Structure 1
Protein backbone atom coordinates (compact mmCIF):
# COMPACT_ATOMS: atom_id res chain seq x y z
CA UNK A 1 0.00 0.00 0.00
CA UNK A 2 1.30 3.43 -0.92
CA UNK A 3 1.68 5.68 2.09
CA UNK A 4 0.81 9.34 1.67
CA UNK A 5 2.09 11.39 4.57
CA UNK A 6 0.31 14.63 5.35
CA UNK A 7 2.17 17.61 3.84
CA UNK A 8 3.86 19.98 6.23
CA UNK A 9 2.81 23.08 4.31
CA UNK A 10 -0.62 24.71 4.71
CA UNK A 11 -3.25 23.49 2.27
CA UNK A 12 -6.14 25.82 3.02
CA UNK A 13 -7.46 27.75 0.03
CA UNK A 14 -10.44 29.97 -0.58
CA UNK A 15 -12.45 26.87 -1.53
CA UNK A 16 -11.67 24.99 1.69
CA UNK A 17 -14.60 24.31 4.01
CA UNK A 18 -12.58 22.88 6.93
CA UNK A 19 -8.83 22.62 7.40
CA UNK A 20 -6.30 21.47 9.97
CA UNK A 21 -2.74 22.71 9.61
CA UNK A 22 0.12 20.98 11.48
CA UNK A 23 -2.23 20.02 14.33
CA UNK A 24 -0.82 18.15 17.31
CA UNK A 25 -2.89 16.93 20.25
CA UNK A 26 -1.62 14.99 23.26
CA UNK A 27 -3.23 13.52 26.34
CA UNK A 28 -1.76 12.44 29.65
CA UNK A 29 1.22 13.56 31.72
CA UNK A 30 4.08 15.93 31.00
CA UNK A 31 6.71 13.20 30.50
CA UNK A 32 7.15 10.90 27.51
CA UNK A 33 6.28 7.79 29.52
CA UNK A 34 2.73 8.96 30.32
CA UNK A 35 1.98 11.23 27.36
CA UNK A 36 -0.14 9.89 24.48
CA UNK A 37 0.05 11.63 21.11
CA UNK A 38 -3.44 11.46 19.62
CA UNK A 39 -2.66 13.69 16.62
CA UNK A 40 0.85 14.10 15.26
CA UNK A 41 1.35 17.15 13.00
CA UNK A 42 -1.80 16.50 10.97
CA UNK A 43 -2.55 18.65 7.95
CA UNK A 44 -5.72 17.96 5.98
CA UNK A 45 -8.36 19.98 4.12
CA UNK A 46 -11.98 19.32 3.20
CA UNK A 47 -13.65 20.94 0.21
CA UNK A 48 -17.20 22.36 0.17
CA UNK A 49 -19.68 19.69 -0.87
CA UNK A 50 -17.23 16.85 -0.20
CA UNK A 51 -18.26 13.75 1.75
CA UNK A 52 -15.21 12.40 3.60
CA UNK A 53 -14.93 9.35 5.84
CA UNK A 54 -12.22 9.24 8.49
CA UNK A 55 -11.07 5.71 9.33
CA UNK A 56 -8.34 3.87 11.17
CA UNK A 57 -7.69 1.30 13.89
CA UNK A 58 -8.91 1.87 17.43
CA UNK A 59 -6.78 4.59 19.00
CA UNK A 60 -5.64 5.99 15.65
CA UNK A 61 -6.92 9.50 16.46
CA UNK A 62 -9.94 9.63 14.15
CA UNK A 63 -12.43 10.81 16.79
CA UNK A 64 -9.90 13.25 18.24
CA UNK A 65 -9.36 14.73 14.78
CA UNK A 66 -13.10 15.23 14.31
CA UNK A 67 -13.45 16.84 17.74
CA UNK A 68 -10.58 19.23 17.02
CA UNK A 69 -11.96 20.11 13.57
CA UNK A 70 -15.34 20.91 15.13
CA UNK A 71 -13.87 22.99 17.94
CA UNK A 72 -15.08 20.52 20.57
CA UNK A 73 -11.50 19.99 21.74
CA UNK A 74 -8.44 22.21 21.82
CA UNK A 75 -5.14 21.53 20.05
CA UNK A 76 -1.63 21.70 21.51
CA UNK A 77 -0.20 23.30 18.38
CA UNK A 78 -1.21 24.08 14.82
CA UNK A 79 -4.49 25.63 13.77
CA UNK A 80 -7.98 24.72 12.63
CA UNK A 81 -10.24 26.74 10.34
CA UNK A 82 -13.90 26.57 9.38
CA UNK A 83 -13.97 28.31 6.00
CA UNK A 84 -11.93 31.47 6.42
CA UNK A 85 -12.48 31.58 10.20
CA UNK A 86 -9.59 30.41 12.35
CA UNK A 87 -11.23 28.73 15.33
CA UNK A 88 -8.03 27.91 17.22
CA UNK A 89 -7.99 30.13 20.30
CA UNK A 90 -11.60 31.31 19.94
CA UNK A 91 -13.59 31.86 23.12
CA UNK A 92 -16.18 29.30 24.16
CA UNK A 93 -18.96 31.79 23.43
CA UNK A 94 -17.73 32.51 19.90
CA UNK A 95 -17.25 28.81 19.23
CA UNK A 96 -20.79 28.09 20.40
CA UNK A 97 -22.21 30.76 18.09
CA UNK A 98 -20.15 29.49 15.15
CA UNK A 99 -21.24 25.90 15.70
CA UNK A 100 -24.87 26.97 16.01
CA UNK A 101 -24.78 28.83 12.70
CA UNK A 102 -22.48 26.74 10.55
CA UNK A 103 -22.06 23.21 11.94
CA UNK A 104 -24.31 20.18 12.42
CA UNK A 105 -23.51 17.18 14.59
CA UNK A 106 -24.59 13.54 14.46
CA UNK A 107 -23.18 11.54 17.36
CA UNK A 108 -23.75 7.99 18.61
CA UNK A 109 -25.03 9.31 21.95
CA UNK A 110 -27.95 11.13 20.25
CA UNK A 111 -27.90 14.04 22.80
CA UNK A 112 -31.66 14.50 22.65
CA UNK A 113 -33.50 16.57 25.27
CA UNK A 114 -35.55 14.02 27.24
CA UNK A 115 -38.45 16.39 27.99
CA UNK A 116 -38.99 17.39 24.34
CA UNK A 117 -40.79 15.32 21.75
CA UNK A 118 -39.10 14.27 18.52
CA UNK A 119 -40.37 17.24 16.51
CA UNK A 120 -39.22 19.78 19.11
CA UNK A 121 -35.84 18.06 19.40
CA UNK A 122 -35.41 18.35 15.64
CA UNK A 123 -36.34 22.05 15.66
CA UNK A 124 -34.36 23.00 18.78
CA UNK A 125 -31.24 24.34 16.96
CA UNK A 126 -33.46 26.48 14.72
CA UNK A 127 -35.37 27.78 17.74
CA UNK A 128 -32.09 28.69 19.46
CA UNK A 129 -30.96 30.53 16.34
CA UNK A 130 -34.29 32.37 16.06
CA UNK A 131 -35.14 30.90 12.65
CA UNK A 132 -37.87 28.61 11.31
CA UNK A 133 -37.71 25.31 9.45
CA UNK A 134 -38.12 24.92 5.71
CA UNK A 135 -41.40 23.01 5.52
CA UNK A 136 -40.48 21.14 2.32
CA UNK A 137 -37.08 20.13 3.70
CA UNK A 138 -38.68 19.05 7.00
CA UNK A 139 -41.22 16.88 5.20
CA UNK A 140 -38.54 15.33 2.98
CA UNK A 141 -36.23 14.50 5.87
CA UNK A 142 -38.86 12.96 8.15
CA UNK A 143 -40.24 10.95 5.23
CA UNK A 144 -36.78 9.66 4.29
CA UNK A 145 -36.01 8.75 7.90
CA UNK A 146 -39.43 7.22 8.56
CA UNK A 147 -40.29 9.54 11.44
CA UNK A 148 -43.67 10.91 10.40
CA UNK A 149 -45.54 8.85 13.00
CA UNK A 150 -43.03 9.48 15.79
CA UNK A 151 -42.99 13.30 15.95
CA UNK A 152 -45.04 13.49 19.17
CA UNK A 153 -42.98 10.84 20.98
CA UNK A 154 -40.35 11.74 23.59
CA UNK A 155 -36.92 10.07 23.44
CA UNK A 156 -37.77 7.40 26.05
CA UNK A 157 -40.67 6.33 23.84
CA UNK A 158 -38.35 5.78 20.86
CA UNK A 159 -35.97 2.94 20.04
CA UNK A 160 -32.26 3.62 19.79
CA UNK A 161 -32.48 3.63 16.02
CA UNK A 162 -35.39 6.08 16.07
CA UNK A 163 -33.51 8.38 18.43
CA UNK A 164 -30.55 8.36 16.05
CA UNK A 165 -32.83 9.26 13.17
CA UNK A 166 -34.17 12.22 15.16
CA UNK A 167 -30.59 13.35 15.81
CA UNK A 168 -29.79 13.08 12.09
CA UNK A 169 -32.90 15.08 11.17
CA UNK A 170 -31.93 17.75 13.71
CA UNK A 171 -28.50 18.11 12.12
CA UNK A 172 -29.79 18.32 8.55
CA UNK A 173 -32.65 20.76 9.19
CA UNK A 174 -30.37 23.72 9.89
CA UNK A 175 -28.72 23.33 6.47
CA UNK A 176 -25.26 23.65 8.07
CA UNK A 177 -22.19 24.24 5.93
CA UNK A 178 -20.46 21.32 7.67
CA UNK A 179 -21.87 18.17 9.26
CA UNK A 180 -19.68 16.10 11.59
CA UNK A 181 -20.96 12.55 11.99
CA UNK A 182 -19.59 9.98 14.44
CA UNK A 183 -20.74 6.48 13.40
CA UNK A 184 -24.12 7.88 12.24
CA UNK A 185 -25.51 4.48 11.21
CA UNK A 186 -24.16 2.48 14.14
CA UNK A 187 -27.56 2.10 15.83
CA UNK A 188 -29.59 1.61 12.65
CA UNK A 189 -30.72 -1.46 10.77
CA UNK A 190 -29.07 -2.02 7.39
CA UNK A 191 -31.98 -0.66 5.33
CA UNK A 192 -32.34 2.57 7.32
CA UNK A 193 -28.56 2.91 7.52
CA UNK A 194 -28.31 2.79 3.75
CA UNK A 195 -31.06 5.41 3.43
CA UNK A 196 -29.20 7.69 5.87
CA UNK A 197 -25.93 7.31 3.97
CA UNK A 198 -27.69 8.10 0.70
CA UNK A 199 -29.25 11.17 2.32
CA UNK A 200 -25.86 12.37 3.56
CA UNK A 201 -24.40 11.79 0.09
CA UNK A 202 -27.20 13.81 -1.52
CA UNK A 203 -26.78 16.57 1.08
CA UNK A 204 -23.17 16.93 -0.03
CA UNK A 205 -23.89 16.62 -3.75
CA UNK A 206 -27.10 18.66 -4.01
CA UNK A 207 -26.89 21.11 -1.10
CA UNK A 208 -23.14 21.65 -1.07
CA UNK A 209 -22.78 20.54 2.54
CA UNK A 210 -19.41 19.25 3.68
CA UNK A 211 -19.81 15.91 5.44
CA UNK A 212 -17.02 14.60 7.69
CA UNK A 213 -17.86 11.15 9.04
CA UNK A 214 -15.92 8.95 11.44
CA UNK A 215 -16.69 5.28 10.84
CA UNK A 216 -15.22 1.81 11.18
CA UNK A 217 -17.59 0.38 8.55
CA UNK A 218 -16.15 -0.05 5.02
CA UNK A 219 -19.68 -0.18 3.60
CA UNK A 220 -20.53 3.20 5.13
CA UNK A 221 -17.21 4.64 3.95
CA UNK A 222 -17.97 3.55 0.37
CA UNK A 223 -20.63 6.27 0.19
CA UNK A 224 -17.99 8.95 0.70
CA UNK A 225 -16.06 10.81 -1.99
CA UNK A 226 -12.82 10.27 -0.09
CA UNK A 227 -11.50 8.22 2.80
CA UNK A 228 -8.77 9.61 5.06
CA UNK A 229 -6.95 6.82 6.93
CA UNK A 230 -5.16 7.46 10.22
CA UNK A 231 -2.73 5.39 12.22
CA UNK A 232 -0.97 6.46 15.42
CA UNK A 233 -2.26 10.01 15.04
CA UNK A 234 -0.99 10.54 11.49
CA UNK A 235 -2.60 10.39 8.05
CA UNK A 236 -1.14 7.37 6.28
CA UNK A 237 -3.44 6.98 3.28
CA UNK A 238 -6.19 8.69 1.32
CA UNK A 239 -8.61 6.97 -1.06
CA UNK A 240 -10.62 8.74 -3.75
CA UNK A 241 -13.98 7.29 -4.84
CA UNK A 242 -13.66 4.41 -2.38
CA UNK A 243 -15.42 1.06 -2.52
CA UNK A 244 -15.91 -1.28 0.41
CA UNK A 245 -13.19 -3.51 -1.03
CA UNK A 246 -10.60 -0.75 -1.50
CA UNK A 247 -11.27 0.44 2.04
CA UNK A 248 -10.84 -3.08 3.41
CA UNK A 249 -7.56 -3.42 1.49
CA UNK A 250 -6.28 -0.10 2.84
CA UNK A 251 -7.12 -1.08 6.41
CA UNK A 252 -5.74 -4.61 6.12
CA UNK A 253 -2.15 -3.57 6.72
CA UNK A 254 -3.00 -1.35 9.68
CA UNK A 255 -4.40 -3.94 12.05
CA UNK A 256 -7.90 -2.44 11.70
Structure 2
Protein backbone atom coordinates (compact mmCIF):
# COMPACT_ATOMS: atom_id res chain seq x y z
CA UNK A 1 0.00 0.00 0.00
CA UNK A 2 1.29 3.43 -0.93
CA UNK A 3 2.05 5.88 1.87
CA UNK A 4 0.32 9.17 1.17
CA UNK A 5 1.17 12.62 2.49
CA UNK A 6 -0.92 13.99 5.33
CA UNK A 7 -4.15 15.76 4.30
CA UNK A 8 -2.63 19.05 5.53
CA UNK A 9 -0.01 18.96 2.75
CA UNK A 10 -0.73 21.58 0.02
CA UNK A 11 -2.48 20.17 -3.02
CA UNK A 12 -0.29 19.60 -6.07
CA UNK A 13 -3.13 20.95 -8.24
CA UNK A 14 -6.45 22.41 -7.15
CA UNK A 15 -9.50 23.86 -8.85
CA UNK A 16 -12.04 25.96 -6.97
CA UNK A 17 -15.52 26.45 -8.46
CA UNK A 18 -14.32 26.55 -12.06
CA UNK A 19 -16.70 26.83 -14.99
CA UNK A 20 -15.93 26.59 -18.69
CA UNK A 21 -18.44 27.29 -21.44
CA UNK A 22 -18.24 27.20 -25.22
CA UNK A 23 -20.46 29.06 -27.66
CA UNK A 24 -23.18 31.53 -26.80
CA UNK A 25 -26.95 31.86 -26.79
CA UNK A 26 -28.79 28.74 -27.95
CA UNK A 27 -25.50 27.01 -28.79
CA UNK A 28 -23.88 27.66 -25.40
CA UNK A 29 -22.48 24.49 -23.81
CA UNK A 30 -21.20 24.16 -20.22
CA UNK A 31 -18.16 21.89 -20.45
CA UNK A 32 -17.37 22.37 -16.74
CA UNK A 33 -19.99 23.40 -14.20
CA UNK A 34 -18.76 24.70 -10.81
CA UNK A 35 -16.02 22.08 -10.47
CA UNK A 36 -13.93 21.94 -7.29
CA UNK A 37 -11.29 19.24 -7.03
CA UNK A 38 -7.80 18.79 -5.63
CA UNK A 39 -4.99 16.34 -6.30
CA UNK A 40 -2.62 15.14 -3.61
CA UNK A 41 1.16 15.42 -4.10
CA UNK A 42 2.68 12.13 -5.24
CA UNK A 43 -0.66 10.60 -6.22
CA UNK A 44 -1.53 8.98 -9.54
CA UNK A 45 -5.09 10.08 -10.37
CA UNK A 46 -7.22 9.03 -13.32
CA UNK A 47 -10.02 11.26 -14.62
CA UNK A 48 -12.91 9.32 -16.14
CA UNK A 49 -16.47 9.78 -17.29
CA UNK A 50 -18.84 9.33 -20.22
CA UNK A 51 -18.01 10.82 -23.60
CA UNK A 52 -18.52 14.58 -23.43
CA UNK A 53 -18.33 14.67 -19.63
CA UNK A 54 -15.53 17.27 -19.63
CA UNK A 55 -12.51 15.08 -18.90
CA UNK A 56 -10.11 16.63 -21.38
CA UNK A 57 -11.47 20.13 -20.75
CA UNK A 58 -10.79 19.73 -17.04
CA UNK A 59 -7.23 18.55 -17.66
CA UNK A 60 -6.56 21.40 -20.10
CA UNK A 61 -7.86 23.95 -17.59
CA UNK A 62 -5.85 22.44 -14.74
CA UNK A 63 -2.70 22.60 -16.87
CA UNK A 64 -3.32 26.15 -18.05
CA UNK A 65 -3.72 25.03 -21.66
CA UNK A 66 -7.24 26.48 -21.63
CA UNK A 67 -8.82 29.32 -19.69
CA UNK A 68 -11.79 29.17 -17.34
CA UNK A 69 -14.80 31.48 -17.38
CA UNK A 70 -14.89 31.68 -13.60
CA UNK A 71 -13.25 30.12 -10.58
CA UNK A 72 -9.61 29.55 -9.78
CA UNK A 73 -6.90 27.01 -10.62
CA UNK A 74 -3.65 26.63 -8.70
CA UNK A 75 -0.57 24.51 -9.34
CA UNK A 76 1.07 24.11 -5.96
CA UNK A 77 0.83 27.49 -4.26
CA UNK A 78 0.73 29.40 -7.55
CA UNK A 79 -2.64 30.60 -8.82
CA UNK A 80 -2.49 30.29 -12.60
CA UNK A 81 -5.91 31.82 -13.34
CA UNK A 82 -5.40 35.14 -15.08
CA UNK A 83 -1.76 34.53 -15.97
CA UNK A 84 -0.53 35.73 -19.36
CA UNK A 85 0.47 33.22 -22.02
CA UNK A 86 4.12 34.05 -21.38
CA UNK A 87 3.78 33.55 -17.63
CA UNK A 88 1.99 30.24 -18.18
CA UNK A 89 4.70 29.07 -20.58
CA UNK A 90 7.41 29.78 -18.00
CA UNK A 91 5.44 28.09 -15.22
CA UNK A 92 4.70 24.98 -17.29
CA UNK A 93 8.32 24.77 -18.40
CA UNK A 94 9.45 24.59 -14.77
CA UNK A 95 6.60 22.82 -13.01
CA UNK A 96 4.52 20.78 -15.49
CA UNK A 97 5.17 17.78 -17.71
CA UNK A 98 2.94 16.48 -20.50
CA UNK A 99 2.42 13.04 -22.02
CA UNK A 100 0.10 12.78 -25.01
CA UNK A 101 -1.47 9.91 -26.91
CA UNK A 102 0.35 11.01 -30.08
CA UNK A 103 3.81 11.02 -28.37
CA UNK A 104 4.66 14.43 -29.97
CA UNK A 105 8.30 13.57 -30.56
CA UNK A 106 10.40 15.61 -33.01
CA UNK A 107 11.16 13.19 -35.88
CA UNK A 108 14.52 14.74 -36.76
CA UNK A 109 15.86 14.43 -33.21
CA UNK A 110 17.31 11.37 -31.53
CA UNK A 111 15.64 9.89 -28.47
CA UNK A 112 18.27 11.58 -26.30
CA UNK A 113 17.65 14.98 -27.88
CA UNK A 114 13.87 14.55 -27.63
CA UNK A 115 14.23 13.84 -23.92
CA UNK A 116 16.49 16.86 -23.44
CA UNK A 117 14.34 19.22 -25.51
CA UNK A 118 12.58 20.97 -22.56
CA UNK A 119 15.96 21.73 -20.98
CA UNK A 120 17.33 23.01 -24.29
CA UNK A 121 14.33 25.32 -24.72
CA UNK A 122 14.77 26.61 -21.18
CA UNK A 123 18.55 27.00 -21.53
CA UNK A 124 18.96 24.79 -18.46
CA UNK A 125 21.76 22.36 -17.65
CA UNK A 126 21.27 18.61 -17.58
CA UNK A 127 21.25 16.86 -14.22
CA UNK A 128 23.18 13.88 -15.56
CA UNK A 129 22.57 11.50 -12.63
CA UNK A 130 18.81 12.20 -12.86
CA UNK A 131 18.87 11.75 -16.63
CA UNK A 132 20.71 8.45 -16.22
CA UNK A 133 18.25 7.27 -13.55
CA UNK A 134 15.21 8.04 -15.71
CA UNK A 135 16.75 6.42 -18.80
CA UNK A 136 17.67 3.31 -16.82
CA UNK A 137 14.25 3.10 -15.18
CA UNK A 138 12.53 3.37 -18.56
CA UNK A 139 14.88 0.91 -20.26
CA UNK A 140 16.05 3.38 -22.90
CA UNK A 141 19.82 3.25 -22.44
CA UNK A 142 20.41 1.38 -25.68
CA UNK A 143 17.93 3.46 -27.68
CA UNK A 144 19.15 7.00 -27.06
CA UNK A 145 20.80 7.39 -30.48
CA UNK A 146 17.72 6.16 -32.34
CA UNK A 147 15.23 8.47 -34.05
CA UNK A 148 11.47 8.08 -33.46
CA UNK A 149 10.89 6.10 -36.67
CA UNK A 150 13.45 3.57 -35.42
CA UNK A 151 11.54 2.99 -32.16
CA UNK A 152 8.44 0.94 -31.41
CA UNK A 153 5.30 2.70 -30.18
CA UNK A 154 6.05 1.68 -26.63
CA UNK A 155 9.62 2.96 -26.87
CA UNK A 156 8.42 6.27 -28.30
CA UNK A 157 5.99 6.67 -25.41
CA UNK A 158 8.80 5.87 -22.96
CA UNK A 159 10.82 8.68 -24.53
CA UNK A 160 7.82 10.96 -24.03
CA UNK A 161 7.57 9.87 -20.38
CA UNK A 162 11.29 10.51 -19.87
CA UNK A 163 10.94 13.97 -21.42
CA UNK A 164 8.03 14.75 -19.09
CA UNK A 165 9.92 13.63 -15.98
CA UNK A 166 13.35 15.12 -16.73
CA UNK A 167 12.60 18.61 -15.44
CA UNK A 168 11.31 17.16 -12.14
CA UNK A 169 7.90 18.77 -12.64
CA UNK A 170 5.48 19.16 -9.76
CA UNK A 171 2.80 17.46 -11.86
CA UNK A 172 2.60 15.40 -15.04
CA UNK A 173 -0.57 15.52 -17.13
CA UNK A 174 -1.19 12.46 -19.31
CA UNK A 175 -3.93 12.61 -21.97
CA UNK A 176 -4.92 9.07 -23.02
CA UNK A 177 -1.21 8.06 -22.90
CA UNK A 178 -1.91 4.44 -23.86
CA UNK A 179 -4.63 5.09 -26.44
CA UNK A 180 -2.31 4.40 -29.40
CA UNK A 181 -0.59 1.39 -27.85
CA UNK A 182 -1.34 -2.33 -27.79
CA UNK A 183 -2.45 -3.77 -24.45
CA UNK A 184 0.95 -5.18 -23.49
CA UNK A 185 2.88 -2.00 -24.28
CA UNK A 186 0.14 0.09 -22.68
CA UNK A 187 0.46 -1.89 -19.46
CA UNK A 188 4.22 -1.25 -19.45
CA UNK A 189 3.70 2.51 -19.78
CA UNK A 190 1.07 2.50 -17.02
CA UNK A 191 3.42 0.59 -14.73
CA UNK A 192 6.06 3.23 -15.42
CA UNK A 193 3.65 6.04 -14.55
CA UNK A 194 2.60 4.30 -11.35
CA UNK A 195 6.27 3.78 -10.51
CA UNK A 196 6.99 7.46 -11.17
CA UNK A 197 4.39 8.42 -8.58
CA UNK A 198 5.45 5.74 -6.12
CA UNK A 199 9.23 5.91 -6.44
CA UNK A 200 9.91 9.44 -7.70
CA UNK A 201 7.12 11.32 -5.93
CA UNK A 202 5.61 12.61 -9.18
CA UNK A 203 2.00 13.73 -9.19
CA UNK A 204 0.32 12.14 -12.22
CA UNK A 205 -3.08 13.25 -13.56
CA UNK A 206 -4.29 11.03 -16.40
CA UNK A 207 -7.37 11.26 -18.59
CA UNK A 208 -8.48 7.83 -19.77
CA UNK A 209 -11.57 5.96 -20.94
CA UNK A 210 -10.09 2.56 -20.05
CA UNK A 211 -11.04 1.04 -16.65
CA UNK A 212 -8.01 -1.27 -16.83
CA UNK A 213 -5.73 1.75 -17.25
CA UNK A 214 -7.47 3.53 -14.37
CA UNK A 215 -6.81 0.53 -12.13
CA UNK A 216 -3.11 1.47 -12.10
CA UNK A 217 -3.96 4.78 -10.42
CA UNK A 218 -4.25 5.53 -6.71
CA UNK A 219 -7.70 7.02 -7.22
CA UNK A 220 -10.21 7.88 -9.94
CA UNK A 221 -12.13 11.16 -10.23
CA UNK A 222 -15.50 10.70 -11.96
CA UNK A 223 -17.16 13.36 -14.12
CA UNK A 224 -20.59 13.58 -15.69
CA UNK A 225 -22.09 16.54 -17.54
CA UNK A 226 -19.18 18.75 -16.55
CA UNK A 227 -19.42 18.07 -12.81
CA UNK A 228 -17.51 15.92 -10.31
CA UNK A 229 -19.85 13.13 -9.25
CA UNK A 230 -17.57 10.81 -7.29
CA UNK A 231 -14.15 9.40 -6.57
CA UNK A 232 -12.93 5.79 -6.38
CA UNK A 233 -10.00 5.15 -4.03
CA UNK A 234 -7.56 2.28 -4.65
CA UNK A 235 -9.49 1.35 -7.80
CA UNK A 236 -9.80 -2.02 -9.49
CA UNK A 237 -11.03 -2.41 -13.06
CA UNK A 238 -14.26 -3.96 -11.77
CA UNK A 239 -14.86 -1.13 -9.30
CA UNK A 240 -14.30 1.46 -12.01
CA UNK A 241 -16.61 -0.38 -14.42
CA UNK A 242 -19.31 -0.46 -11.76
CA UNK A 243 -18.90 3.25 -11.03
CA UNK A 244 -19.08 4.12 -14.73
CA UNK A 245 -22.15 1.93 -15.14
CA UNK A 246 -23.91 3.94 -12.45
CA UNK A 247 -23.14 7.06 -14.51
CA UNK A 248 -24.61 5.49 -17.61
CA UNK A 249 -21.21 5.44 -19.31
Same fold per superposition (TM over 0.5): yes
> Partners in 2 of 1:204 and 1:164 — Cα distance?
17
In structure 2, the gaps of 5 or more residues are 1-6
Residue 168 in structure 1 maps to residue 167 in structure 2: no
How much does 1:183 deviate?
Answer: 1.2
> Partners in 2 of 1:43 and 1:77 — Cα distance?
12
Q: Which of 24, 28, 32 is residue 19 of structure 2 equivalent to?
A: 24
| Superposed CA offset, 1:129-170 (max 9, x none) | 333344444344334444333322223343443322221111
- RMSD between aligned residues: 1.9
| 1:37-52 matches, cutoff 5 A | 37-52=30-45
How much does 1:14 deviate?
Answer: 5.5
Aligned to 1:191: 184
| 1:146-165 matches, cutoff 5 A | 146-165=139-158
Partners of 2:18 and 2:70 within 8 A in 1: yes
Partners of 1:114 and 1:155 within 8 A in 2: yes
Moved more, 64-73 or 235-244: 235-244
How much does 1:214 deviate?
Answer: 0.5
Partners of 2:100 and 2:176 within 8 A in 1: yes
> Partners in 2 of 1:26 and 1:79 — Cα distance?
15
Aligned to 1:73: 66
After TM superposition, the score normalised by the length of structure 1 is 0.88
Q: Which of 100, 105, 112 is residue 112 of structure 1 equivalent to?
A: 105
Count residues with an aligned counterpart.
Answer: 243
> Partners in 2 of 1:188 and 1:134 — Cα distance?
30
Partners of 2:138 and 2:192 within 8 A in 1: no
- The structure with the greater share of residues assigned to helix is 2
Aligned to 1:206: 199
Q: Which runs of 4+ in 1 moved over 4 A?
A: none
